[in-house]
Amino acid sequence: MIKTKTHITLPSPAKLNLFLHITGRRENGYHELETLFQFIDVCDTLSFTLSKKDEICLLDEIEGVKQEDNLIYKAAKILLPYRSDKVTQGIEISIQKQLPMGGGIGGGSSNAATTLLALNQLWQCHLDLETLAQLGLELGADVPIFVFGKSAFAQGIGEELTQVEPSTPYYLLLKPDCEVKTVQIFTDKNLTRDTPPIKIPHALKLGGHNDCLEVVRKHNPEVNEAYLWLKNQGDAKLTGTGSCLFAAFDSRDDVLSVLAQVPDKWLAWQCQGCNISPTHQVLDQWIEHNWGIAKR
């Protein structure tokens, strides 16, 4: 539903790392990587309303996350200095949470990017996507991909993006009942850090693997159990350094057939790959309705 210039509701989607290769390690400890990002149509929902009070107000708490540590709050705060002089209102933000924390599907980063995109409009900041992505990078390496909103081949620490259009199959997304500690994975001495770089055509045609998979399985028995189960159903893969696993299928019916067999102890979703973020699809409609600017 299209709303007025004082309110906007946007989906905040998850992402998959279709593969994740670690090609080196920098002196500062950050890892050089290559990955292929694709969005999926499993989303949180964020609503933003201009408020008479000149403050940032989160209407919904996320269990275990303090407001000052919440990436939604941080994103709003980082954009506040860019608010137009014509706008004196603060913001009220509510969230309907569906994406699990610690799953490796970018829920927090997606929420941060959605906040930047929404408030750029409501606060009339008039910042371009490149500037928003640079601000988002201060919040996390995955934020820029959600700001730009297009599937991409990523290099560096994940911030060097080249737009691509991989196929958009149906996926089964599986979440074991655990959270993976990213620091534990990236500091493991057995983590592969010398996978040879690949070219984009190779990545799109042949794909790759996730260098973190075996280390995650070693430290997290729940992930290992879920991986072995999903491997019997299809080409099971790990996304990012989280606990979520996924497998691609040719049809929705194929996914639903496997979904019906998932043990009750795991969360699972049927979804489809998207090369354009659902956030941008809704945001473009809102901009055209409110500002009369159609995206070309």
pLDDT digits (tens, 9 = 90+) for 36-61: 999 999 999 999 999 999 999 999 98
Q: What's at 152, amino acid-wise?
A: A
What b-and-e string marks burial along 76-100, b requiring 16 or more CB atoms within 10 Å of the CB? bebbbebbeeebebbbbbebeeebb
Give the percent of the chain with pLDDT over 90. 86
Nearest alpha-carbon partner for 224 in 210, 208, 234, 238: 238
pLDDT score of 29: 75
Q: 31 — phi, psi (to 5°)?
A: -95, 135
Please write the tens of the pLDDT for every residue from 109-118: 999 999 999 9
CATH 3.30.230.10 domain position(s) in the chain = 7-165+277-291
Q: What is the rounded distance in angstroms from the CA atom of residue 230 to the CA atom of residue 247?
A: 7
Helix-then-strand count for the chain, H and E: 10, 10
- Predicted TM-score (pTM) of this structure: 0.95
Q: What is the rounded distance in angstroms from the CA atom of residue 33 to the CA atom of residue 227?
A: 23
Residue with tokens 């996924």: 246
Q: Is position 142 annotated as part of the catalytic site?
A: yes
Write down the catalytic residue from 15, 74, 150, 175: 15
CATH 3.30.70.890 domain position(s) in the chain = 170-274
User: Would you identify the CATH topology of the domain 7-165+277-291?
Assistant: Ribosomal Protein S5; domain 2 (3.30.230)
Classified as helix, coil or strand, 194 is coil
Write down the catalytic residue from 44, 142, 211, 254: 142
Q: Which CATH class is domain 170-274?
A: alpha beta
